[in-house]
Structure 1
Amino acid sequence: MHLHFAPMARCLGAAALVAVLAACSSTPKDETAGMSVERVYSEAREDAASGNYERAIRFYERLEGRAAGTILAQQALLELAHTYYRSGERAQALATIERYMKLYPTSAASDYALYLRGLINFNDNLGLFGRFSGQSLSDRDQQASKEAYQSFRQLVDLYPDSVYAPDARARMNFIVNSLAEYEVHVARYYFRRGAYLAAANRAQLAVQEYQQSPAVEEALHLMARSYDRLGLPELRDDALRVLRLNFPQSTFLSQSGSANLR
């Protein structure tokens, strides 16, 4: 019985050639070819505004190269970061804004760059809405929030008169209160399960790290209750003293007398 391989080999060779030609013919064209850099920028902005983020990103990337060394290239990179942010591509947005800040450290838009870096890390679901939805803060969420806070803090310190400074300050307050509330939530969780030392430690963390947050009031109350359960009356009384001093009208005081702590 004879097996004939040559014709099959010729067929496979032809098929491979067709595949290569098809791959070459499918190479994407440069959509910006023949356009002025001004038109590329205009179309990128229009696409971003209308939600066509994929096309906007392609155009901004082309523009950065074509307008290299100009103010327009800087603007393209900045708006590319913002477009990544709006499209939900957080990692790409952060990488792009970091690249912008390294390439143009003295840019006139440095305040906006800091603000945008803060926005990219900012999660507005960490507070009130997160509690209502049963959402919990992961370590990643907390770290991102802390990084957002640092960006906003840098902005208000370096550019206190920036048009972005007022919103940055408001977001800083939100972050602090959200993180403090989370620590109190964890302390409350531990207390209910009898882990009193862990509860006291988390409540103390809220008091030390977020002194201006309203959540400190309950944190001090939880510290007092936890120390009472641990049989540490001096620490309990210290927590009660600080609670009375800072929140003299607190409703927790009626619950925090040593006779009522249990």
Structure 2
Amino acid sequence: MSLPRYKMTMLAVSLGIATAMTGCSSNPKKEVVDTGPQSSEQIYIQNAEKALERGQYIEAAKQLEALDTYYPTSNYAQQAQLELLYVKFQQKDYENAVALAERFIKLNPQHPNVDYAYYVRGVANMEQNYAGLLRYTSLKQSHRDVSYIKLAYQNFVDLIRRYPSSQYAVDAAQRMKFIGQELAEHEMVAARFNIKRKAWIAATERAQWVVEHYPQTPQIPEALATLAYSYDKLGDRATSQQYIELLKLNYPHLVKADGSVNLRAARQDGSWLNRATLGILGRSEKNTVETTHPAATEDSSRSLINRLSFGLLDKPEQPATTLPATQ
């Protein structure tokens, strides 16, 4: 019994597809075989330097990664690791920049430029909070997840504690101040929400956290006013009055003529510009990294100084043309 013509056509198409798929599976792509180093360590570092000078970060990363892979104990290894850290940051690959920084810190705890790795780790974590399209949305920074800037804050604490005289310590302290304002605002956003839903205890907890942990931030007036207002709503007039007295001494305009707290005015006393612009306005200019890293010795670092120091070091008058090995 013969099949109808349309069924024979469908059968032929199905067999053709099956044959093609079988052919593809029987001819898998050839695996890429690592043939080992293609150049000497000196050539790799020279090629990386040329690529960096031209801003060709993909090529620079390729050369530095090869050097790190094939010559892990060479005289250029540590310098290559620091330069690769810089390249990843410039490519806005902050996650890998953090990983490379932590690796360098672990493997080279006594390196004279390990403070650079501590610093970049903090900056990269900080930038992860501001990277991507969220920077340009209407969602305020304080409404987002703040886990990265909390990590960055701790990174900068570690840097300053371990290397208080580091050339990056002042900038790290400035960034900590900015992060403190962001974290304080994050707490106050939660406090405002709790007041709106009449969760007075939760509101006091958030405001108290700001007073205790971020006492130098612009959110302090609102935090004190929130405590006074919330304790009054809880019926604890004595505690509420204590905070009102503090407001009278430090921020008298936040207390109304009848002695009650002016919570609306207190909310306007915060860093409104920074709160309203996702941190794009009101952020320190140094939050945008430009840079050079101090990866090399004194002589070789002169050829890197303006490119790799995050704008903290002066541009050399006569950049070196050779790149001595880092010891």
Question: 1:156–1:136: structure 2 CA closer, same or farther, 3 Å change rule?
Answer: closer
Whether 2:158 is the aligned partner of 1:154: answer yes
Q: Write the mapping of 1:1-262 to structure 2, written as runs, cut at 5 A.
A: 15=23, 19-20=27-28, 23-24=30-31, 27=32, 33=38, 35-48=39-52, 50=54, 52-123=56-127, 125=130, 133-137=138-142, 141-245=145-249, 247=250, 249-254=251-256, 257-258=259-260
What percent of counterpart residues are identical?
A: 33
The 10-residue stretch of structure 1 (167-176 or 223-232) with the greater mean CA deviation from structure 2: 223-232
Which segments of 5 or more consecutive residues in structure 2 lack a partner in the other structure? 1-15, 265-327
In 1, the alpha carbon distance for the partners of 2:241 and 2:248 equals: 10
Whether the 8 Å CA contact 1:240–1:256 is kept in 2: the answer is no
Shift of residue 30, structure 1, vs aligned partner? 6.7
In 2, the alpha carbon distance for the partners of 1:183 and 1:131 equals: 22
In 2, the alpha carbon distance for the partners of 1:69 and 1:218 equals: 56
Q: Which amino acid aligns with 1:134?
A: L
TM-score (norm 2): 0.63
Whether the 8 Å CA contact 1:37–1:63 is kept in 2: the answer is yes
Q: Hey, what does 2:279 align to over in structure 1? A: none
The 10-residue stretch of structure 1 (114-123 or 41-50) with the greater mean CA deviation from structure 2: 41-50
The 10-residue stretch of structure 1 (67-76 or 221-230) with the greater mean CA deviation from structure 2: 67-76
In 2, the alpha carbon distance for the partners of 1:32 and 1:231 equals: 75
Q: Which amino acid aligns with 1:23?
A: K
Shift of residue 29, structure 1, vs aligned partner? 7.2
Q: Which amino acid aligns with 1:56?
A: A
Higher helix proportion (structure 1 or 2):
1
Q: Hey, what does 1:4 align to over in structure 2? A: none
Q: Which amino acid aligns with 1:196?
A: W
The 10-residue stretch of structure 1 (221-230 or 38-47) with the greater mean CA deviation from structure 2: 38-47
Whether the 8 Å CA contact 2:225–2:244 is kept in 1: the answer is yes
Question: 1:46–1:185: structure 2 CA closer, same or farther, 3 Å change rule?
Answer: farther
In 1, the alpha carbon distance for the partners of 2:252 and 2:62 equals: 57
Per-residue CA distance 1:134-181 (angstroms, 9 max, x = gap):
324467x42221221122122223222222112111101101111112
Whether the 8 Å CA contact 2:255–2:261 is kept in 1: the answer is no
Residue-pair matches, total: 244
The 10-residue stretch of structure 1 (192-201 or 171-180) with the greater mean CA deviation from structure 2: 192-201
Higher relative contact order (CA 8 A, sep 6+): 2
Question: 1:47–1:261: structure 2 CA closer, same or farther, 3 Å change rule?
Answer: closer
Whether the 8 Å CA contact 2:149–2:179 is kept in 1: the answer is yes
Question: 1:63–1:222: structure 2 CA closer, same or farther, 3 Å change rule?
Answer: same
SS at match of 1:226: helix
Shift of residue 57, structure 1, vs aligned partner? 2.5
Whether the 8 Å CA contact 2:194–2:200 is kept in 1: the answer is yes
Whether the 8 Å CA contact 1:217–1:250 is kept in 2: the answer is no
Q: Which amino acid aligns with 1:197?
A: I
The 10-residue stretch of structure 1 (83-92 or 161-170) with the greater mean CA deviation from structure 2: 83-92
In 2, the alpha carbon distance for the partners of 1:92 and 1:260 equals: 47
Whether the 8 Å CA contact 1:121–1:144 is kept in 2: the answer is yes
Q: Which amino acid aligns with 2:72?
A: A
